[in-house]
Structure 1
Amino acid sequence: MPRKLHNALTALAVKNAGPGRHADGGGLHLLVKESGSRSWVYRFMLNGKSRDIGLGSAGPGGISLAAARDLATALRLKVKAGIDPLEERHRAEADSKAAEQAAKVAGITFKAMAETHIAANKESWRNAKHRQQWENTLKTYAYPVIGDLPVSEVDTPHVLKVLEPIWREVPETASRLRGRIETVLDSAKARGYRQGENPARWRGHLAQILPARTKLSRGHHKAMPYDAIPAFMEQLQKREAVAALALEFVILTAARTGEIIGATWGEVDLAKAVWTVPAERMKAGKEHRVPLSPRAVEILEQTKQLGGKHLFPGAARAKLSGMAMAMLLRRMKQDVTVHGFRSAFRDWAAECTGYSHEVAEMALAHTIGNAVERAYRRGDLFEKRRRLMADWATYCASGAPADAEVTPIRIAQQP
């Protein structure tokens, strides 16, 4: 019967051993490769099967002979208890990997995932306008609600919180936004950042909660008759809220909600009374200059005192919520939409002024004429539009006392 090895190796033997497997006894082996690299291996028998488990490198900077023997002793006790140390290690590695993945997923926000998806697909989209519409709708409506939420945690209540406030007001935009949220969440699932069903899915899910867009107003926005605007503006100026000033500014400029709440001071020249909206924030993807009436300038001079980079700051100087003006209208018991004031302006311009169709349409930042006509049109009729917007501001103020002053606002009371 061969002699049973016990502490057969020495520190010198470990250092000088040639290529091959060298037994120390008790299942501990020194493995030396042709390259000269050295490592410790523990061999054990469990359920009639022989298995090896690596312990780490040997030699200078690695595990010493004494430490390797201690590790082998600890593993030997586990084997005697019926524990497979190799399977135990695999489970620990799997748990560690799962924890690492969970931590990684927790750090991926909806906004980050959306930006990743846009960047990955921008070359396949048909034009730059499509990308801008993607970015603008998400920035205006989704990011303020779920932008900082881990994409793995976005659920149906979150999606509804984004969609319900605008589903009836701007159904076409809301429907497109829903589809974009669904796509972002599908992309996240494909990348392993979330699991389960998509909470933005329409068929068989949100279709059971939200009315179909085809049953809504097909893109028409409830608008206040233009002859009711002056009286409404008089009431609006009595409101002590940033949202009230923002809504008045919307009416005076005939701009879109997203253009207003995303506006920053870098876009405004108060001295020249001009607000220049960059192309990436415009629906048509083209820079738009907005002439500011004296009252519009007066509003901005007041909101500038509130600080922050946006014209109309919300809580903690962030930009105003996309729903702030809509909620203000509800509190004022007005069954109209913010977007509908653009229609009121257009009706007034057509019925009460002699300005041309092109001037009024350009004031609304609409694309006019065919491609050939646009190619030959170089100007933006800015001076004519300035006169138009000044006349509109005068009309809007016609129902208020001539000496009306700006009502001071207090951030604590904003809706």
Structure 2
Amino acid sequence: MRASNKISAVQVRSLPPGKYNDGAGLWLVKRDDGGGQWVLRLTVYGRRREMGLGGIGEVTLKEAREEAAKWRSMARQGKDPIKERERMRREMFREDQSLSIITHEAFEARKASLKNDGEAGRWMSPLDVHVLPKLGRVPITEIDQRDIKNTINPIWHDKPDAARKAINRLGIVMKHAAALGLDVDLQAVDKAKALLGKQRHKVKHIPSLPWQEVPDFYQSLTDGSIAQLSLRLLILTAARSAEIRNLNLSEIDSDVWTLPAERMKAGREHRIPLSKEALRTIEEAMPFEREGFLFPGTRKGVISDATWTQIMKRRGMEARPHGFRSSFRTWCAEATDTPREVAETALAHVVGGAVERAYRRTDYLDQRRELMERWADHVSGKVD
């Protein structure tokens, strides 16, 4: 039998940084800051395992020896003490297996791959709104396809996009639970989709103005207000609403506007060549600048995209601001010979597969500079 009880209670506090063997597999690991950790070394199924038993600030020498004896006994019974401890913890705290808890754990695990670490809340939103209010307190191991079907059914046809996101993200949460070792039905989401059936809702695209009619609308934006100037720049750059509204002058260098990755939907830096007309519009809007933002709100923040929508609604238009991206893309296809990859890059769309993108290391800035000048000439009426 291995010698044990080699360390005294006084030594636990006084020993310098290092590793000290108390015997029978129990070790004290002292840190430079004076703290320390109890570690039990075991051999389970022929493998060396190390099991943390707690810090010296919370676990005394006597308690560490008692814990070590308990887990050594379990190892002699052919059980893995680490896995057994995890199982016992899960059984002791069943509420920790609730869908709500596991969902937030899954979100934390995915944050690094989400835009701005998921700060906008878009990943969690479908679950927070449509799933967790009904199933949040239910242990995830008890959730089956009928629970999921009954929860998603009210929005399956009426809010198809939200329903699709909610059920797909629920599937990710279920996989996370399985990775934790919980006994969940990984087929529950697919079974629920089968019970829900095919969505009857048809996708409605955002109404856009035909590219032939954009010049008349653009040239009517003449009052010099922050709303109309920002809408003009939206049209000229074919950018997204949030990109224009949050434009900061620090992002502009000469005739190139560089949007950082954290502001882009695809999470990649995007350069927009600014036409002469766009630069004139920016210069005209300079008196409105506040703290670097070209289009600030009335009191705080930045201008709302609802302002643009109201301009178009008041004129009886069905088209909406985001639709100008479609107007631009259709113009590229019908009125120019612009290569597809250049037009798609102008819209900050990801073009081609991962391998193709790895070899195509260009954003076609020069070609897009010429393209945006032609688009500006079109909308400002300089060409037919």
> Partner residue of 1:230?
215
> Partner residue of 1:307?
289
Q: CA deviation at 1:387?
A: 0.4
Q: Is contact 1:291-1:389 (8 Å) kept?
A: yes
Q: Is contact 1:234-1:399 (8 Å) kept?
A: no
> Partner residue of 2:206?
221
- 1:101-151 superposed Cα distances (whole Å, 9 cap, x missing partner): xxxxxxxxxxxxxxxxx99766522862xx218858559xxxxxxxxxxxx
> Partner residue of 1:268?
252
Q: Unaligned stretches of 5+ in structure 2? A: 1-102, 139-149, 162-198
Q: Distance in 1 between matches of 2:330 and 2:369?
A: 18
Deviant stretches of 4+, over 3 Å: 118-123, 133-139, 175-186, 202-208, 210-217
Q: Which structure 2 residues correspond to residues 72-91 of structure 1 after superposition, within 5 A?
A: none
Q: Is contact 2:130-2:151 (8 Å) kept?
A: no
> Partner residue of 2:91?
none
- 1:299-322 superposed Cα distances (whole Å, 9 cap, x missing partner): 111222223132211112521113
Q: Is contact 1:242-1:312 (8 Å) kept?
A: yes
> Partner residue of 2:237?
253
Residue 390, structure 1, aligned to residue 373, structure 2: yes
Q: CA RMSD in A?
A: 3.9
**Aligned pairs, number:** 234
Q: Which structure 2 residues correspond to residues 182-221 of structure 1 after superposition, within 5 A?
A: 218=203, 220-221=205-206
Q: Read off the aligned partner of 2:341 and give its amino acid letter.
A: E
Q: CA deviation at 1:257?
A: 0.7
Q: CA deviation at 1:258?
A: 1.5
Q: Is contact 1:307-1:317 (8 Å) kept?
A: no
> Partner residue of 1:362?
345
Q: Read off the aligned partner of 1:351 and give its amino acid letter.
A: E
Q: Unaligned stretches of 5+ in structure 1? A: 1-117, 140-174, 191-201, 402-415
Please report the TM-score for the alignment, with normalisation by the length of structure 1: 0.49
| RCO higher in structure (CA 8 A, sep ≥6) | 1
Residue 125, structure 1, aligned to residue 110, structure 2: yes
3-state DSSP of counterpart to 2:258: strand
Q: Is contact 2:218-2:379 (8 Å) kept?
A: yes
> Partner residue of 1:327?
310
3-state DSSP of counterpart to 2:299: helix
Please report the TM-score for the alignment, with normalisation by the length of structure 2: 0.52
Q: CA deviation at 1:238?
A: 2.6
Q: Read off the aligned partner of 1:367 and give its amino acid letter.
A: V
Q: Is contact 1:280-1:286 (8 Å) kept?
A: yes
Larger radius of gyration: 1
Q: Distance in 1 between matches of 2:233 and 2:105?
A: 37
> Partner residue of 1:99?
none
Distance change (3 Å), C-alpha of 1:207 and 1:376? closer
Q: CA deviation at 1:282?
A: 0.7
Q: Read off the aligned partner of 2:283 and give its amino acid letter.
A: E
Distance change (3 Å), C-alpha of 1:400 and 1:184? farther
Q: Distance in 1 between matches of 2:365 and 2:244?
A: 19
Q: Read off the aligned partner of 1:250 and give its amino acid letter.
A: L
Taking only the aligned residue pairs, the percentage that are identical comes to: 34
Distance change (3 Å), C-alpha of 1:189 and 1:319? farther
Q: Distance in 1 between matches of 2:229 and 2:118?
A: 26
Q: Distance in 2 between matches of 1:343 and 1:136?
A: 28
